[in-house]
Amino acid sequence: MYARISRTYLKLQARLRGDHRSPLCAECFQDHGLRRMARAVRGKSVRCRQCGAVSVHGLSREQLHDLCQTFFVRGSIIAADYGASPLIQFNDLRENELDVEGEINADIALLHKTIGIGFFHYGPRLWMLGAVEPLQKLRTRRGRRPVINRILRTYPVRELTPRDEFYRVRKAPAEASDAAQYDAPPDEFCGSGRLDSPSNSMLYGSQDIEICVHECRFSAGDELYVATLAPTRTLRLVDLTEILEETGTEFDSLDLTVLMLFLAGSHAYEITRELAASARAKGFDGIIYPSYFSMLRTGGMPFETMFGIAMRRIRETRSYEKAKVIGNLALFGHPIADGNVQVAGINRLVISKVAYAVTFGPVMSPEPSG
């Protein structure tokens, strides 16, 4: 939202000046990654005020701000056990305080001189790195049960009806045309996933077929099959992808707790498995939960803030935040064998092309020791 307001202001400034030249073009940058990202911006041929070249890679002030956001802020994100934060931020209120490796220093000075932004090392609010009270309690045996009960009381219930199809992908099943091959695995093979355990088998699926491929870590040459599944009756699932409306601060947030929990690695599995077992004990048929690969799938940036406030907590940016997260389905037991889910169709799945959207970031110096 802040970036959108800034871009509108910059457009208005340029219109009032009647200046159709570009402050900088791609060739003004020395860092290879930054220059390559700038070359991806194409428009009408304009003259660069910095170097005088006429180029389709001239960047407006608005585009330079977007470039800095992607390269310096997103490009410096580090992940903690729970949560994540950029190491660099910039604004037009600070002097430049950043000193990093290589040719990028000249580019930082040029950007500061040309569009008046100052870069600085960002000291994140600690909630961004997992210092959230409900999350801290979940990490202890004594505090876990009350928070799990609160999660299951607070999050909404979503009904999955026979009209709601979803997908399950298998690699080289023993008999590809056998519907039973797409059910939850036998109990003796359970206990390695995010939500399943030997006493709580789970059928994993998604309504986003590309997420199915990502989640299962398939690779070139694998023989894949996809089953299209649908409930035979209305199923009740607790929806952990919903954004909660909360009072208090981020440090008290149940909403951020759950998102951080599901975007974390395997060290969070003990907690999520207990959460799933509790949901089953309370009579739910399954869980809708944020995919670990959500940000890769949507291109979203995790745990964004505006004026220091988590954007998930701002009403005007809630739909933007909601669109970042892809929901997976986890249905308890063996729902195909139990007659709660039917296989509507089975097809071979051919991965015909894989494309990666990549950006660059600066090389950060290690923190001095001692």
Look-up: residue for tokens 């894989």?
A: 354
The answer to whether the CB of 228 falls within 8 A of the CB of 165 is yes
Neighbouring-strand partners of residue 34: none
Average pLDDT over residues 206-235: 93
Angle at 215 between CA 353 and CA 333, to 5 degrees: 135
Say yes or no to pLDDT of 228 above 70.
Answer: yes
d(CA 216, CA 330): 14
Q: Say what percent of the chain tops pLDDT 70.
A: 93
Structure tokens at 42: 């194409």
Collect all residues with Cβ–Cβ distance below 8 Å to 160 and sequence separation of at least 6. 166, 231, 234, 235, 236, 237, 285, 286, 329
- Residue 169's pLDDT is what? 96
Say yes or no to pLDDT of 275 above 90.
Answer: yes
- How far from the centroid of its chain's Cα atoms is residue 22's Cα? 33
Angle between helices 254-263 and 269-281 (to 10 degrees): 120
Q: Is 110 helix (H, G, I), strand (E, B) or coil?
A: helix
d(CA 25, CA 43): 11
Collect all residues with Cβ–Cβ distance below 8 Å to 367 and sequence separation of at least 6. none
Instruction: pLDDT band for 21, please (50, 70, 90 cuts).
Output: confident
- Residue 367's pLDDT is what? 57
The H-or-E segment that residue 281 falls in is: helix 269-281
Instruction: Please tell me the pTM assigned to this model.
Output: 0.89
Say yes or no to pLDDT of 194 above 60.
Answer: yes
Collect all residues with Cβ–Cβ distance below 8 Å to 337 and sequence separation of at least 6. 180, 183
| Amino acid making up residue 369 | S
Q: What is the CA radius of gyration of the chain?
A: 24
d(CA 98, CA 108): 8
Q: Distances from the Cα of 129 to the Cαs of 33, 176, 241, 248, 261, in angstroms?
A: 28, 44, 20, 18, 12
